[in-house]
Structure 1
Amino acid sequence: MTHVITQANRRRLVLDHQGQRHEFTALWLRERSPDDETRDPYTGQRLIEAAELPLDLAIETAKVADGQLNLHFSDGHHSTFGLATLFDEQASESPRRLWDAAGAPHPEADFATALEDDSALLAMLESLHRNGFVIVSGVPTDLDGMQPLIDRIGPLRRTNWGGIADVKSVANAYDLTMTQRGLEPHTDNPYRDPIPGYIWLHCLANAAEGGDSTLADGFMAARLLRERDPDAYACLTRVTPSFRYCDADTYLESEGSLIELDSRGEPVRVRYSNRTERVPALPAEELEAYYAARKAFYQLITGEELTLHLKLDPGQMLIIDNYRLLHGRSAFHLAGGVRHMRQGYVDRDTTASRRCVLHQRLATAQAQGEPA
C-alpha cells in the first residue's frame, strides 16, 4: 500500500511505501515528467526549458492506482509515473565492498568467457565495481593480448607513453616504474586531467625474485582515518596539492585532494603519488596539519592491516580501480629471471557505461524470457 501526502503548500510530495518514506519536490517531478511533451520519446532528452518553470509550481492533485502515480500540476500539466521507476531514482548504485587484508576478496574472471559471453563480462565489471579490482586469467601472453577484452569495453586510453606499454626494468629509465626498485602504494597519473579510471596490468613473465604486487583499499583507509583521526581526515579532504610529471617531451600538471568527496560527503576518489606530489607553500600551521595528516594516511595504506599481497602469473591480468585502490610492488632482482608486464588504461565513463548497458540489456532479456 502506498499513501500519498502533499505538504509545504503542495510543493512537496511524500510517498509512504511499504514503511519507507520517499519525498519529492513538485519542480523535480515536473521536469522529469516522462510524457512526450516534456521529453523526446526517442532520445529521452528534455524538450522543455526546466529553468523557465515557475518556482512556486505546486501539485494540484496526486493519486496512486495500479502502481502508477498520477499528478496534476499548477501549470496545467498532467503526468503519470511508474512508482517503481520513481523509487529506482532514489535507490543507490550497487554497493561497494570495502575491505582490509584479513577480509580481502579474491574476485576472478576468465578472459575467453568474458570475451564471448555478456553475462560473464557483466559479472566481471560488477565485481570490479564492487571490490575495486579483479584478476583475469587465461589472457594470451602476446604483447597486446589484453586488447580484445578492452575492445569489449574501451576504448583504450592513449597517453604520452602510447597505448599498451611495457612495465619492465630498462636502462636510463624515464620513470621509476621502469626500474627494479620497490614502489610505494600509489594511484596512477594524478597529474592528468582526467585521471585514468582503470589500470589493466597484464603479466607476460614474472620469474624475477620479488616483484610481488600490493593493493590497498583507499576508501577503507579513508573510512578508518575518519574514525580514528577526524581532524586528519578533514585536512586531507580540504588541502589540494598539485601533481606534476615532466620529461623532454611532456609537461603534465593537475591538482586535487588526497581524499576527494562527492556531493553526499563520501569519498569518491583518492590520490597518492609521492613521486609526483608538489604541496604549495601554504601557511605554516596548515602545512604542519597536512604533513601530519598525510603521514597518518600513509601509515594506513602501507600497514599490514590493509595491504593485500599477490604475485601475478604469466597469462594473468589485474584490473584496478585507479580512483579507489592504491597499488605498489616489492623490489625485484633479475638474477632469478625476467619480470615483464604490459599496462594500459581504460577510462571510467566508458567502463561504467558498458556495465550499465549490459545490466539493462540482460535484465530486459530475462524479463522477456529470452536467453541472455
Structure 2
Amino acid sequence: MKIELNENKVYFNSGSSKKEIHPFWLRERVDGEEFLDKGTQQRLFDPTTLSNEISINTAIINEKFLEIDFNDGVKSKLDIDKLALEFSNEDTVIKSIPKIKWNSTLENIKNFKYQDDFFDSKEMYDLLVSFYKYGFVIIKNIPTDNNFIVKFANSIGSVRRTNFGEFFDVKSKPDPNDLAYTSLGLSPHTDNPYRNPVPCIQLLHCIESEVTGGLSTLVDGFTVTEDLKKENLEFYKILSEVKVRFKFIDKDVVLEDWSELIKLDDDKTFKQVRFSPRLDYVPMLDKEKLDLYYKARKKLSEMYNSAKYRIEFKLSPKDLIMMDNYRLLHGRTSYEVKEGNRFLQGCYIDYDSTEGKLRHLKRKFNL
C-alpha cells in the first residue's frame, strides 16, 4: 500500500484499488503535543465537536511523512507507515501470530523458566507469542509460597474472579462442588462453559505432586474442529449453528449460558470451543435435526477423547501451565489419594491481559 496525492486529496493505493482517504479521518489522527497526550496517547481534543466540513488546503509527502494543512487552521505531520497500519482495519499484532495445529505427535515445545525481571523481559514476549501459536505454555521454577499464582497472573494482566474465588485449590476434598476437587479422571473439557463471558485463559500452578497418576492432558480444539470440518462438513455445520444451554448449580449460585459447541467468528473462522457433556442441555428441535446433532456431538466427543489428539504430561512442583480456554480442552488421569498429595492452584485471566502485555513488550523491544 502507498499514499498518493491528487489536487489536495489523499488516496491510498493497495495495488488492486485506489480510494480517497476522508479528510476528517486524517484530521482525527493529528498527533502533535497540543493534540495528543504523550503518556496515554489519548486525544486532547474531542473530534465530535469539530465541524463536519473538514477539508484539506494543501498536502505534500515529505520522505516518510504526510504534511497536511487543514481548513480549520490545523497543520499536521503524519507518519505514513503508522497510517498504513490502520488501512486493513485488522489487528496487526495478535492476528499476525499463526495458530499452529497440533495433535499427539507434538514434541519439543520450549518450556520457559521464571527468573528475576521475568514479567517485563524479552523472554515474556517470546512466551506470549508461543502461547498464541500453540494455545498453551509451561513455565518452570515458579515459587510455590504465598499463593504466587495471583502475583503471576496480575503481572500479566488482572485476575478474573469467579464464584470459586480469586484463585482456587485443586485437590481432592470432601463434599466437592465440582469434579475437579476429586481424584477422579477428567475427560477433555473446557472450563466454565456456563459463564457469560467464559474466562479466556486458565493458569494452573503445581504446588505438590506425590502421586503416580494425575497426569495433565490437553487437546487442541482448533485442530479437532478443523479436521471435523474436512471429514464431515454436515456435522461441523450443525455443531456451529445450534446453541445449547450450559448450566452450573451449587448451594450459592445458578449459572447459565447458551452457545454453540463450535463458535465461529464473524468471518466464519474458528473462535471458540465449549465442551462439557456433564453440563450441556440440547434444546428441543425437530427429530431429524436432533438425530443429526446427536451423531455430530458423539463424533466430536470421540475425536476429543481420541489418543490421536491428546498429549499427556506430569506437572512437577513449581511448574505453571497457562492455557487458552477458548481453544484447548484439558483434563487429567485419575490418581490414588493414598499415595500422597496432589495440589494445584488455579485462576483465570482474560485476553485483554495477554494482548495488552504482548503489545507493550513489542513496543518496548521495537519488535
Query: For the superposition of Structure 1 and Structure 2, which TM-score range results when normalised by the shorter chain?
Result: 0.7 to 0.9
Which residue pairs with 1:99 in the alignment? 102
For the residue of structure 2 that corresponds to 1:210, the secondary structure is coil
- Per-residue deviation, 1:258: 1.4
3-state SS of 2:348 partner: strand
Out of 211, 214, 232, which is 1:211 matched to? Answer: 214
Asked if structure 2 preserves the Cα contact closer than 8 Å seen for 1:105 and 1:131, the reply is no
- Name the structure 1 match of 2:46: 47
Q: Equivalent of 1:110, from 110, 113, 117?
A: 113
Query: Match for 2:260 among 257, 260, 279?
Result: 257
Amino acid at match of 1:197: C
Q: Give unpaired runs (5+ residues) of structure 2.
A: none
Contact kept? 1:4, 1:62, Cα under 8 Å: no
- The letter of the residue matching 2:36 is P
The match for 2:85 is 88
Instruction: For residue 29 of structure 1, report the CA deviation from its aligned partner.
Output: 8.0
Q: Distance in 2 between matches of 1:251 and 1:41?
A: 46
Distance 1:114 1:29, change over 3 A: farther
Between stretches 291-300 and 59-68, larger displacement belongs to: 59-68
For the 8 Å contact 2:106–2:311, the answer to whether it is kept is: no
Cα distance change on mapping 1:170 and 1:131 into 2, 3 Å: same
Say whether 1:278 aligns with 2:281.
Answer: yes
Distance 1:31 1:53 in 2: 13
Task: Evaluate the alpha carbon distance shift between residue 182 and residue 22 of structure 1 in structure 2; reply closer, same or farther with a 3 A threshold.
Answer: farther
Q: What corresponds to 2:336 in structure 1?
A: 333
Query: Does 259-268 or 100-109 show the bigger shift?
Result: 100-109
| Residues 1:159 and 2:162 aligned together | yes
Could you tell me which amino acid in structure 2 is paired with residue 294 of structure 1?
R
Q: % of aligned pairs identical?
A: 31
- Deviation string 1:236-290 (CA, Å, 9 cap, x unpaired) is 2111112111111011111111121222221111111112112111222322222
Q: Is residue 30 of structure 1 aligned with residue 29 of structure 2?
A: no
Report the TM-score, using the length of structure 2 for normalisation: 0.83
Aligned residue among 317, 320, 323 for 1:317: 320
Distance (Å, rounded) in 2 between the aligned partners of 1:320 and 1:224: 21
Could you tell me how far apart the structure 1 residues matched to 2:199 and 2:164 are? Answer: 13
The Cα of 1:105 is off from its aligned counterpart by 5.3
Q: Distance in 2 between matches of 1:82 and 1:350?
A: 28
| Residue aligned with 1:195, SS | coil
- Contact 2:24 / 2:55 at 8 angstroms: preserved in 1? no
Whole-Å Cα distance in 1 between the matches of residues 279 and 23 of structure 2?
A: 43
Task: Report how many residues are paired.
Answer: 354
**Counterpart for residue 168 of structure 1:** 171
Structure 2 counterpart of 1:48, one-letter code: P
TM-score by length of 1: 0.82
The corresponding residue for 1:140 is 143
Q: Which residue number corresponds to residue 15 of structure 1? A: 14
